Amino acid sequence: MCGIFGYIGEDDALNTCILGLEQLEYRGYDSTGIAGIFDGNLQICKETGKLANLKQRLTFKTLQIAIGHTRWATHGKVTTANAHPHNDSQRTIALVHNGIIENWEELRDQLKKEGFVFVTETDTEVITQLVSKNYKGSLVDAVQTALPFLKGQFAIALIHKDHPDQIVASARNCPLSIGFNDTQTESIISSDLHAFLGKPLNVIFLRDDEVAKVERGKVSVFDKNLARIAKKLDKLDRDFKSPSKEGYEHFMLKEIYEQPTTIQKAYFGRVNDGCVLFEDLVLDLSATKNVWFIGCGTSAHAAAIGGNFFEEIAEIPAQVEIASEARYRMIPPGTLVVAMSQSGETADVLSAVREIKAKGHKILGICNVKNSTLTREVDACIFLNAGPEISVCSTKAFTSQITVLYLLALHLAKKGDFDALQLIPQHIQQVLENALWIEEKAKHYSRYQNFFFMGRRYMYPTCLEAALKLKEISYVNAVGYLGGEIKHGPIALIDENCPVLAFLANSQTESKMMGNLQEVKARGAPILAFAPKHLSSISTIADDVIWLPDTIDPLSPFASTVAGQLFAYFMAKTRKCDIDQPRNLAKSVTVE
Ligand code: AGP
């Protein structure tokens, strides 16, 4: 995923663009770039690596109008040439792009035959040259003419040296917000609202292939036929402020420590007089016979726990399909599909939702970002209310997702036993208060390069999630595995150089897990156990133990997960990894 930003207004456009890109850098940080107009000249500066590198390389001091970009590379290596913005051969147009143009090679070959010269390996440059080819004096017209040739998804912003008073923008299946102030002195374009820098703006969201001409404090939107269209205005809350670390060293640590609060926000106002009601649930779920969850990464792990809830609490059969595979499956008629996505922008989820919807299924979204693309594609959406999650490594969203899924299972079962869930924030607080012990264990195990994470029942998706955390921020090989499966082959990998992290907080499968631990101990594996306080016998097997509060099996993933998050955080810190922006990753993967 990439971040695009544009500014035209009374403030210095260059500086404002830098501030905007700082808020978007979590979307991708392989390279950054800014283009703008000053004194009738098109200025462009771009650099590999993070925004700090660009700031050092800037070749101009001010701009009247600017567009900027943070890149997560899809087509083309991470080089300065491939960094956005991309300009046309005459250096009159500059463009930034988030998304993928699927027919870029065909278009590029055609444009090359017409004499256009390409200097990058990107799909984006094709858009720039196509607009340049169609430019006859109106940038809006040129963009509108080019769009029908493009296959794929995009959010784009363009400037032209002959039009220093306007930025032209368009979008298709990619997020793009456009804001302008009441006094009509400034306008902002951004991939997400957090980059609006706390300014109280009127906001519009483009529908697919609409084109916007953005001037100082004014936005004109045109449809496919270049007819001017009126757009609904949203008002950005005045207290909508850009997220900050609030004193924590990393966003990830802040978001881990937010969880006692965010879990309460996930259930606040949704449990009254012993029954669960969702304010956004406009779908009638009473006839639900079975459920298919779709999601990716952490969201898929939350879905797996949710599937257990649905079966155990509501006695509704449930299964999880990884979104990139779901489109190939035959989903039985009458199935409720639940699309899980923190960002609401994950391309694999969006593509699956569109295909499944086309087959006539009802889809419920569970999401953390209002106005995200997923919220517009599903039949109903329940929000996590967890607040912006900035760290690429998802933490608070996961525990909020399983909170919502637990409530949804209670809702479907028409049950209200909610007392155990109300204790969870305190349980998590107890884990957070044990952080120094967890940090000590992480430092002790930081010398290893390979790990097995092991669990059964509710602890299986929990251990998958804990393993993912460790992989993505510490860059070590961490494999989550079913406790009962290790002996069917993977145990061949177990030796004194391969610690086993055992997640035991599932009373139903405790004795079997203890047996699995004897098997790996016999092969010399160091064992770190994440165990409930009542399981004192684990101390005779494990080399180290991280103790957890006792709770019922369905709610055991909460404390175990937070302990796993802290373990991964401190391991990454010990290994001096980039915690909030790990290499090769982005906060939301908007390509398939
Ligand atoms: C989680 O730590 C990862 N960054 C990643 O697996 C993420 O959960 C996945 O890309 C899905 O994102 P989504 O929830 O925004 O759809």
Query: What is the tens place of the pLDDT at every residue in 125-176?
Result: 999 999 999 999 999 999 999 999 999 889 999 999 999 999 999 999 888 8
- Substitution candidate for ligand 1 out of 342, 378, 389 with most atoms within 8 A of CB: 342
Q: Are residues 375 and 255 in the same domain?
A: yes
Q: Are residues 48 and 117 in the same domain?
A: yes
Known active-site residue 463? no
Task: Identify the residue whose C-alpha is closest to ligand 1 atom 5.
Answer: 297
Atom of ligand 1 nearest to the CA of 299: 14
Query: What is the tens place of the pLDDT at every residue in 559-575?
Result: 999 999 999 999 999 99
Q: Are residues 342 and 478 in the same domain?
A: no
Q: Are residues 438 and 513 in the same domain?
A: yes
**296 CA to centre of ligand 1 in angstroms:** 6
Known active-site residue 218? no
Position 241 in a domain: no
In this prediction, what percent of the chain has a pLDDT beyond 70?
99
From 388, 404, 422, give the residue that closes a domain.
422
Query: What is the tens place of the pLDDT at every residue in 240-283?
Result: 566 788 889 999 999 999 999 999 999 988 998 888 989 878 88
Q: Are residues 413 and 475 in the same domain?
A: no
pLDDT of residue 343 exceeding 60: yes
From 215, 236, 257, give the residue that closes a domain.
236
Query: What is the tens place of the pLDDT at every residue in 42-81?
Result: 999 999 999 999 999 998 999 999 999 999 887 888 899 9
Long-range CB pairs of 325-332, under 8 A, 24+ apart, other chains included = 326/292, 326/294, 326/352, 326/355, 326/356, 327/351, 327/352, 327/355, 327/356, 329/292, 331/292, 331/356, 331/359, 331/361, 332/290
Q: Are residues 454 and 474 in the same domain?
A: yes
Query: What is the tens place of the pLDDT at every residue in 202-240?
Result: 999 888 899 999 999 999 999 988 899 999 888 776 555
From 391, 422, 453, give the residue that closes a domain.
422
From the CB of 343, is ligand 1 less than 6 Å away?
yes
Q: Are residues 366 and 434 in the same domain?
A: no
Task: Identify the residue whose C-alpha is closest to ligand 1 atom 4.
Answer: 393
Strand partners, 70: 3, 32
Q: Which two tokens stand for residue 361?
A: 């299924």
Position 30 in a domain: yes
Return d(Cα 128, Cα 135) in angstroms, integer: 10
Q: Are residues 102 and 192 in the same domain?
A: yes
Q: Are residues 356 and 498 in the same domain?
A: no
Give how far the C-alpha of residue 271 lies from the chain's centroid of Cα atoms, to the nearest Å. 28
Q: Which of 143, 158, 137 is nearest to 66 (CA)?
A: 158
Q: Are residues 308 and 400 in the same domain?
A: yes
Total domains in the chain come to 3
What's the CATH number where 134 sits? 3.60.20.10
- Substitution candidate for ligand 1 out of 350, 377, 394 with most atoms within 8 A of CB: 394
3-class SS letters over 332-391? CCCEEEEEEECCCCCHHHHHHHHHHHHCCCEEEEEECCCCCHHHHHCCEEEECCCCCCCC
**266 CA to centre of ligand 1 in angstroms:** 19
What's the CATH number where 408 sits? 3.40.50.10490
Q: Are residues 436 and 296 in the same domain?
A: no
- Substitution candidate for ligand 1 out of 565, 581, 589 with most atoms within 8 A of CB: 589
Cβ neighbors of 381 (< 8 A, separation 6 or more) are 280, 364, 365, 366, 367, 374, 375
Q: Looking up tokens 């960094």, which residue turns up? A: 83
**399 CA to centre of ligand 1 in angstroms:** 13
Position 218 in a domain: yes
Domain that residue 323 falls in:
246-422
Q: Are residues 332 and 389 in the same domain?
A: yes
Cβ neighbors of 198 (< 8 A, separation 6 or more) are 240, 241, 242
Task: Judge if pTM exceeds 0.95.
Answer: no
From the CB of 391, is ligand 1 less than 6 Å away?
no
Among 22-31, 397-406, 473-482, 515-524, the minimum mean pLDDT is found in 22-31
